[in-house]
Amino acid sequence: MRRRGLRFGKEKKKVNIPVIKEVMIWLAEIALVLAIAFVFVYYICLRTSVVGQSMSPTLESREEILINRFIYLVTNPKPGDIIVFLPNGNEKSHYYVKRVVGGPGDKVQIIGGEVYVNGEQLEETEDMASILDAGLAEEEILLAEDEFFVLGDNPNNSEDSRYANIGNVKKEHIIGKAWFRVSPYDKIGFLK
């Protein structure tokens, strides 16, 4: 005689292998995307805000930019690049954003409000207002093999390589290249 009623644990449970496979594939894909995002944000890209008017009109105060942290691991900054650095490697300072004027081995001097690199007037500065204070660059500056001379695009309102508290920027203090503006939204785009 067979008993009627509840039968706990008597039936064999069926495992749905295709569903488990699908869930495992989804979990692996999510883990891969998270790993790529972590590597991208931590090693390649960093977001920061511009402080002050020294890069006006190219960049204005409080605009948000993305920094390519990877590019200068494989190459050196070139004249015209907009770089982000810590002055003298000071970890407690905000990031400085300036344009490279001269690189390793170059001789930089400011004469009569104009920038000269290796004895030739820098073409990019022809449209720039005359520099009122040459600072350290009143005398010719020879850049060492790991140094860069930087200026703001608004040099009369810029704390840059002309001043002793910034000086020549060593490559090891460069965070990366400013390459993309993310805000304000009407100005989103790559930087030149």
pLDDT digits (tens, 9 = 90+) for 50-108: 999 999 999 999 999 999 998 998 999 999 999 999 998 888 889 999 999 999 999 99
Q: What are phi and psi of 18, to 5 degrees?
A: -60, -35
Please say if 158 is a catalytic residue: no
Which pTM was predicted? Answer: 0.79
Residue 112 φ/ψ region, left for φ over 0, alpha for ψ in the -120 to 50 degree band, beta for the rest: left
Helix (H, G, I), strand (E, B) or coil at 50: coil
Identify the pLDDT of residue 18: 87
Please say if 13 is a catalytic residue: no
- Of 98, 158, 161, 177, catalytic: 98
Contact 67, 175 (CB under 8 A): yes
Residue 16 pLDDT exceeds 70:
yes
Helix (H, G, I), strand (E, B) or coil at 45: strand
Q: What average pLDDT does range 151-166 have in this prediction?
A: 94
Collect contacts of 40-48 with beta carbons under 8 A, ≥24 apart.
43/69, 43/70, 44/68, 44/69, 44/70, 45/69, 46/175, 46/176, 47/182, 48/84, 48/95, 48/97
Percent of the chain scored above 90 by pLDDT? 70
Question: Per DSSP, which regions of 86-132 are E strands?
Answer: 96-102, 107-111, 114-117, 120-121
Tokens of 74: 């494989």
- Of 10, 14, 21, 54, catalytic: 54
Identify the pLDDT of residue 110: 95
